[in-house]
Structure 1
Amino acid sequence: MNAGADAGASPAGPVAARLSFLDRFLAVWIIAAMAAGLGLGRLVPGLGDALAEVTVTGVSLPIALGLLVMMYPVLAKVRYDRLDTVTRDRRLLLPSLVLNWLVGPALMFALAWLLLPDLPEYRTGLIIVGLARCIAMVVIWNDLACGDREAAAVLVALNSVFQVFAFSLLGWFYLNVLPGWLGLDRTTLDVSVWEIARSVLIFLGIPLLAGFLTRRLGERARGRAWYETVLVPRIAPFALYGLLFTVVVLFALQGDAITSKPWDVARIALPLLVYFAVMWTGSMAVGRAVGLDYPKATTLAFTAAGNNFELAIAVAIATFGATSGQALAGVVGPLIEVPVLIGLVHVALAARRYFPPPTPPAGPAAAPEDSARV
């Protein structure tokens, strides 16, 4: 089904009812995983030492596996052969690049310094979150809001590829260069560019390559319809399993910090809430201003507001350690993002009346493989 057709129809029911059972209660599962991790950290002596005994680029092996598992299914969904559909649409592509790679990191940098001036570890963790652009759950929020599915897929793919090359440079700039220019304290922001690059290449590059090869080989063997209606639904839940497993392990290691400093956790949540609200609302307004129809404007807004917490957590763990404040800032992210973006789905659906009708797709009305889209 074309995204334009979706955008013209009303949701069949409450937004939450359109999610699968696993996704519908994602916030509940994350809270349960956090509680389980806290309980394990308290009840099992020496758990942290056992988890850290075997490492991959400075990350404990269980956490590394969880991070890779949660990212692979999402990247296997991307239609890598459709990148050209976005590169030809400058009204969508240029605002997306500006919002994702200029506005987003700069806004998170400003909020982190403004709201966490006395908490350098959490501040650094939030800056890393701001650098990690969306490649995961944003596809779900975009689909629920009747956004343009193809545009979302290719923007996610573009962010994934661009992130491999840009994340390290931006990390060096925002964690070292810019604070120096502004006369800010850099003593806790000295991060090796190579450490960030190595984490990005491992925790983004590997699942990106695996996702690309899975789609390419799967479609060659059985066709796109089989790949997207049979294989993708089978592997999709593993993204959630990997996320929950990682949260359990992280909170087992972060238990003392969370229970002893609940006010710090609340302070981490505040800039994240402001960030999501400002980025989504501003991006939606930009889409309307440049003349995008509702599906594409919605895709622009959700891809600009969402963040890749998996990558941010991986970088924070590899660079600062699993028990660091930087890692805790990344862990708090998914708990805040899920309810906020579900709420923004409702806001987006209510705002459809203010946008021009969807533009008809270029070329043939529908390709044979598109008939299988849900």
Structure 2
Amino acid sequence: MKEMSFLDRWLPAWILLAMGVGLLLGRFLPGLNTALESMTIGEVSLPIAIGLLVMMYPVLAKVRYDETRRVTGDKRLLGLSLVLNWVVGPAVMFVLAWVFLTDLPEYRTGLIIVGLARCIAMVLIWNDLACGDREAAAVLVAVNSVFQVFAFGALGWFYLQLLPSWLGLPTTSADFSVWAIVVSVLVFLGIPLLAGFLTRVLGEKAKGRQWYEEKFLPKLGPWALYGLLFTIVLLFALQGGAITSQPFDVVRIAVPLLIYFALMFAIGLLASRAAGLSYAKSTTVAFTASGNNFELAIAVAIGTFGVTSGQALAGVVGPLIEVPVLVGLVYVSLWVGQRLFPNDPTVPARRTQEARR
């Protein structure tokens, strides 16, 4: 925890504070809803759209896109990560959403969208704290960033329309449009992805990687959190009535999220160990499999279903639950390392012992 910045360390507290501020604004500024709806781009309020783009851009500017060339170096690592992220993860969230939120279709859809948005951001923090493989994490983050642009829309169509139809379950709604999800992904992931890529390429070309990562990124990084908190304030200002009248719904959204994060981490760690990966790489696979890109999930939910939708609320609850749970899983990873990976030199305790010798 000491290695995390002050802002990152207290992220759950900032999210709770932003929620509280949003609820107060919604209660004491009744005209805020009308004002936000009067400034729109398509179906999204302009202030919220700005907040979404601001929180996505710094995350994607951190990615080392040139590391994707190393992907072919470890086919077990890449193959396992892709299966866990794009096959197992969405399927697990789909099952949990239907089991726990059968009677709440909007929240259920919101959770499924969270499951489709694979982690590209804070996994780098959790991976570092658990002494995972930094270069492997960079590769997987870069792959997920690019892959989501092409895969998210297709997976949304499969899990929100095709699969429920096959299973005889009701689809999301009569107004649901797969194209709306594709457009949201292209706007809220495609634009900041291109901006982040160009920023890194041009920044490193002008000043070098050391300057870019040690001088520029520390100044840019906090803006992702500022954008997230700004968006949460506006969302809760608009959703205040629904939240205060039905607080138990938030609890119901939180339960499957808790199960999901813990289950995906366990599957990732054990599957990696069974595949013969080291502790460092297994930890990286586990965190990339269990974390989610809640920024993208919120953006897609808002762009597709609206800022006051239950889908958007489910997306907002995501980071509130994910952050403390994955911090806890860092300690779990460090604790089980010596037990699951005997004689592995990448286990943190053994690294320390060897350094002392």
Answer whether TM exceeds 0.5 for this pair. Answer: yes
* Runs of 5+ unmatched residues, structure 1: 1-15, 360-374
User: Displacement, 1:87?
Assistant: 2.8
Question: CA 1:237 to 1:350, structure 2 compared with 1: closer, same or farther past 3 Å?
Answer: same
Q: Residue type of the partner of 2:344?
A: P
Deviation at 1:194, TM superposition (A): 1.1
Within 2, Cα distance between the matches of 1:47 and 1:136? 31
CA RMSD in angstroms, aligned pairs only:
1.2
Q: Is the contact between residue 172 and residue 191 of structure 1 (CA under 8 Å) also seen in structure 2?
A: no
1:85 is displaced (CA, Å) by 1.5
Q: What residue is the counterpart of 1:17 in the other structure?
A: 2
Once the two structures are superposed, residues 40-72 of structure 1 have per-residue CA deviations (whole angstroms, 9 ceiling, x without a partner) of 000112101111212223111111111111111
CA distance in 1, matches of 2:211, 2:117: 32
> Is it true that 1:320 corresponds to 2:305 in the alignment?
yes
Aligned to 2:344: 357
The SS at the match of 1:188 is coil
Pairing 1:135–2:120 present: yes
1:249-260 equivalent positions in 2, closer than 5 A: 249-260=234-245
Deviates more, 1:291-300 or 1:50-59: 50-59
Is residue 51–residue 228 contact of structure 2 (8 Å, CA) maintained in 1?
yes
Candidates 152, 155, 167, aligned match of 2:140: 155
Cα deviations by residue, 1:171-227 (Å, 9 ceiling, x for unpaired): 011111000110111262752121111000010011111111011001100111111
What corresponds to 1:77 in structure 2? 62
Asked whether 1:173 is paired with 2:158, we answer: yes
Q: Which amino acid aligns with 1:131?
A: L
CA 1:107/1:39 → structure 2, altered by over 3 Å: closer, same or farther?
Answer: same
Q: Which moved more, 1:137-146 or 1:103-112?
A: 137-146
Q: Assess, with a 3 A threshold, how the Cα gap between structure 1 residues 98 and 187 changes in structure 2: closer, same or farther.
A: closer
Residues 164 and 200 in structure 1, CA contact (< 8 A), matched pair in contact too: yes
**Larger CA deviation: 85-94 vs 319-328:** 85-94
Residue 38 of structure 2: SS of its match in structure 1?
coil
Which deviates further from its counterpart, 337-346 or 16-25? 16-25
Q: Indicate yes or no: 2:45 matched with 1:60.
A: yes
Aligned equivalent of 2:269: 284
SS of the residue aligned with 1:299?
helix
Rounded Cα–Cα distance in structure 1 between residues aligned with 2:4 and 2:303: 33
Q: Tell me what 1:293 maps to.
A: 278
Amino acid at match of 1:320: F
User: In the aligned structure 1, how far is the partner of 2:265 from the partner of 2:174?
Assistant: 28
Encode CA deviations 1:294-332: one digit per residue, 9 max, x unaligned. 111111011110111111111111111100111110011
Letter in 2 for 1:200: V
Cα deviation digits, residues 92-127 of structure 1 (max 9, x gap): 100100000000111101001111111111111111
User: Residue 189 and residue 329 in structure 1: after superposition, are their counterparts in 2 closer, same or farther (change >3 A)?
Assistant: farther
Aligned position for 1:44? 29
Task: Output the amino acid matched with 2:192.
Answer: P
Equivalent of 1:330 in 296, 309, 315: 315
Counterpart code for 2:139: V
Q: How far apart, in 2, do the equivalents of 1:264 and 1:287 lie? A: 35
Name the structure 1 match of 2:219.
Answer: 234
Query: In structure 2, how many angstroms separate the alpha carbons of the residues matched to 1:176 and 1:31?
Result: 33
Q: 1:150 to 1:267 in 2, by over 3 A?
A: same
1:196 aligns with 2:181: yes
Partner Cα separation in structure 1 for residue 204 and residue 153 of structure 2:
33
Q: What fraction of aligned residue pairs are identical, expressed as a percent?
A: 71
What is the CA–CA distance in structure 2 between the aligned matches of 1:139 and 1:223, rounded to whole Å?
A: 21
CA contact (8 A) 2:160 2:172 kept: no
1:117 alignment partner, one of 73, 78, 102: 102
Aligned length: 344
Q: Which residue of 1 aligns with 2:351?
A: none
Q: CA deviation at 1:138?
A: 1.4
Q: Which amino acid aligns with 1:257?
A: A
Question: 8 Å contact 1:57–1:199 — kept in the other structure?
Answer: no
Are the aligned partners of 2:61 and 2:200 in contact in 1 as well (CA < 8 Å)?
yes
TM-score of the pair, normalised by structure 2: 0.94
User: Distance between the aligned counterparts of 2:72 and 2:148, measured in 1?
Assistant: 17
Shift of 1:135: 1.2
Matches of 1:50 and 1:138, distance apart in 2: 36
Deviation of 1:20 after TM superposition, in Å, equals 1.0
Q: TM-score, normalised by structure 1?
A: 0.90
